[in-house]
Chains A and B, each alone.
Chain A
Amino acid sequence: MTALLEVEDLRVAYGKIEAVKGISFKVEEGEVVTLIGTNGAGKTTTLRTLSGLIKPLTGQIKFNGKSLRKVPAHQVVSLGLAHSPEGRHIFPRMSIEDNLRLGAFLRKDSDGINKDIQRAYDLFPILGERRKQASGTLSGGEQQMLAMGRALMSQPKLLMLDEPSMGLSPIMMQKIMATITELRAQGTTILLVEQNAQAALSLANHAHVMEVGNIVLSGTGQDLLHDDSVRKAYLGED
Chain B
Amino acid sequence: MTTTQTTTVTAPAPATPATRGSLLPPHIARATATAGGALTVVSAFLAWTWTSAFPGDLTVYGYPGGLQWLVLVSGALLTLFGLSSYGIKGLNWLTPQGADPAIRLAAYAAFATAWFTIGAISTKLGGAVNLEPGAYVALAATLIGWLGARSLPYERPETSPADPDDSAFDQFKHNLSNRWSVYKGTLATTPAPPAKTLPSYIEILIVAVVLALGLAVFTYGITTEYDQLFIGFLITAGFGFAAIQKAGLIQRVSTLTARHRNVTLVGAFVAAAAFPFTQSDDQYATIGVNILIFATVALGLNIVVGLAGLLDLGYVAFLGVGAYAAALVSGSPTSPLGIQLPFWQAILVGATASMVFGVLIGAPTLRLRGDYLAIVTLGFGEIFRIAVLNLDGTSGPDVTNGSNGISSIPNLTMFGFDFGATHTIAGFTIGRFANYFFLMLLVTLVVVVVFRRSAESRIGRAWVAIREDETAAEAMGINGFRTKLIAFALGATLAGLAGAVQAHVTYTVTPEQYQFAHAVPPNSAFLLAAVVLGGMGTISGPLVGGALLFLIPAKLQFMSDYQLFAFGLALVLLMRFRPEGLIANRRRQLEFHEKDEAPATLTKAGA
9 A–B contact pairs at CB < 8 A? A74-B478, A91-B464, A93-B587, A94-B465, A94-B468, A102-B476, A102-B478, A129-B605, A137-B602
A51-86 Cβ-contact flags toward B at 8 Å (1 or 0): 101000000000000000000111111100011010
- List chain B residues, Cβ under 8 A from A73: 474-475
- List chain B residues, Cβ under 8 A from A106: 476-477
Stretch among B177-185, B313-321, B590-598 lining the A interface: B590-598
A94-115 Cβ-contact flags toward B at 8 Å (1 or 0): 1000100111011000000000
Cross-chain contact A93 with B590 (CB below 8 angstroms): yes
Q: How far is the CB of A149 from chain B (nearest CB, A)?
A: 13
- Closest residue on chain A to residue B587 by CB atoms: A93
Decide if B469 is an interface residue (CB 8 Å cutoff): yes
Decide if A196 is an interface residue (CB 8 Å cutoff): no
Partner of B476, one of A77, A130, A133, A137: A77
In the complex, which residues 434-491 of chain B have their Cβ closer than 8 Å to any Cβ of chain A?
458, 461-462, 464-465, 468-469, 471-480
Decide if B255 is an interface residue (CB 8 Å cutoff): no
Task: Please indicate which of the listed interface residues A72, A82, A130, A133 has the most CB atoms of chain B within 10 Å of its own CB.
Answer: A133
- Closest residue on chain B to residue A160 by CB atoms: B475
With A and B bound together, what is the CA distance between A154 and B588 in angstroms?
28
Decide if A90 is an interface residue (CB 8 Å cutoff): yes
Partner of B461, one of A72, A78, A101, A130: A101
Q: How far is the CB of B421 from chain A (nearest CB, A)?
A: 51
Decide if B20 is an interface residue (CB 8 Å cutoff): no
- Closest residue on chain B to residue A107 by CB atoms: B477
With A and B bound together, what is the CA distance between A82 and B475 in angstroms?
7
Partner of A131, one of B478, B594, B605: B605
Cross-chain contact B477 with A77 (CB below 8 angstroms): yes
Extra pairs beyond A133-B601, A136-B590, A137-B594 (4, CB < 8 Å): A89-B471, A89-B472, A94-B464, A133-B602
Decide if B196 is an interface residue (CB 8 Å cutoff): no
Partner of A134, one of B458, B480, B601: B601
Q: How far is the CB of B460 from chain A (nearest CB, A)?
A: 12
Cross-chain contact A85 with B601 (CB below 8 angstroms): no
Cross-chain contact A105 with B475 (CB below 8 angstroms): no
Cross-chain contact A74 with B474 (CB below 8 angstroms): yes
Partner of A105, one of B478, B590, B605: B478
Q: How far is the CB of A93 from chain B (nearest CB, A)?
A: 5
With A and B bound together, what is the CA distance between A40 and B602 in angstroms?
38
With A and B bound together, what is the CA distance between A77 and B462 in angstroms?
15
Partner of B469, one of A76, A82, A91, A151: A91
- Closest residue on chain B to residue A82 by CB atoms: B475
Task: Please indicate which of the listed interface residues B474, B475, B587, B604 has the most CB atoms of chain A within 10 Å of its own CB.
Answer: B475
Decide if A92 is an interface residue (CB 8 Å cutoff): yes
Task: Please indicate which of the listed interface residues B458, B471, B472, B587 has the most CB atoms of chain A within 10 Å of its own CB.
Answer: B472
Cross-chain contact B477 with A154 (CB below 8 angstroms): yes
Cross-chain contact A85 with B587 (CB below 8 angstroms): no
- List chain A residues, Cβ under 8 A from B464: 91, 94
- List chain A residues, Cβ under 8 A from B602: 130, 133, 137
Cross-chain contact A154 with B476 (CB below 8 angstroms): yes
Partner of B477, one of A78, A94, A130: A78
In the complex, which residues 555-581 of chain B have their Cβ closer than 8 Å to any Cβ of chain A?
none
Cross-chain contact A134 with B598 (CB below 8 angstroms): yes
Q: How far is the CB of A177 from chain B (nearest CB, A)?
A: 22
* Chain B residue total in the interface (Cβ 8 A): 28
With A and B bound together, what is the CA distance between A129 and B462 in angstroms?
25
Partner of A74, one of B458, B480, B605: B480
- List chain B residues, Cβ under 8 A from A103: 476
Q: How far is the CB of B463 from chain A (nearest CB, A)?
A: 12
- List chain A residues, Cβ under 8 A from B472: 85, 89-91
With A and B bound together, what is the CA distance between A131 and B474 in angstroms?
23
With A and B bound together, what is the CA distance between A106 and B602 in angstroms?
30
- Closest residue on chain A to residue B475 by CB atoms: A83
Q: How far is the CB of B459 from chain A (nearest CB, A)?
A: 11
Partner of A136, one of B471, B473, B594, B606: B594
If A85-B472, A91-B468, A94-B468 touch, whether A105 touches B591 (CB-CB below 8 Å) is no
- List chain B residues, Cβ under 8 A from A83: 475
Cross-chain contact A105 with B598 (CB below 8 angstroms): no
With A and B bound together, what is the CA distance between A51 and B474 in angstroms?
10
If A74-B480, A93-B590, A137-B601 touch, whether A85 touches B465 (CB-CB below 8 Å) is no
- List chain A residues, Cβ under 8 A from B598: 134, 137
- Closest residue on chain B to residue A85 by CB atoms: B475
With A and B bound together, what is the CA distance between A1 and B88 in angstroms?
82
- List chain B residues, Cβ under 8 A from A77: 475-477
Cross-chain contact A85 with B477 (CB below 8 angstroms): no
Cross-chain contact B605 with A94 (CB below 8 angstroms): no
With A and B bound together, what is the CA distance between A61 and B473 in angstroms?
23
- Closest residue on chain A to residue B470 by CB atoms: A89
Cross-chain contact B601 with A53 (CB below 8 angstroms): no
- List chain B residues, Cβ under 8 A from A130: 602, 605-606
- Closest residue on chain A to residue B482 by CB atoms: A74
Q: How far is the CB of A162 from chain B (nearest CB, A)?
A: 10
Partner of A102, one of B461, B480, B587, B591: B461
With A and B bound together, what is the CA distance between A88 and B426 in angstroms?
64
With A and B bound together, what is the CA distance between A76 and B251 in angstroms?
44
- Closest residue on chain B to residue A88 by CB atoms: B472
Cross-chain contact A105 with B462 (CB below 8 angstroms): yes
With A and B bound together, what is the CA distance between A179 and B471 in angstroms?
25
- List chain B residues, Cβ under 8 A from A133: 601-602, 605
Cross-chain contact B475 with A75 (CB below 8 angstroms): no
- Closest residue on chain B to residue A78 by CB atoms: B477
With A and B bound together, what is the CA distance between A89 and B472 in angstroms?
6
- Closest residue on chain B to residue A104 by CB atoms: B476
- Closest residue on chain B to residue A84 by CB atoms: B475
With A and B bound together, what is the CA distance between A129 and B605 in angstroms?
8
With A and B bound together, what is the CA distance between A51 and B591 in angstroms?
30
Q: How far is the CB of A197 from chain B (nearest CB, A)?
A: 26
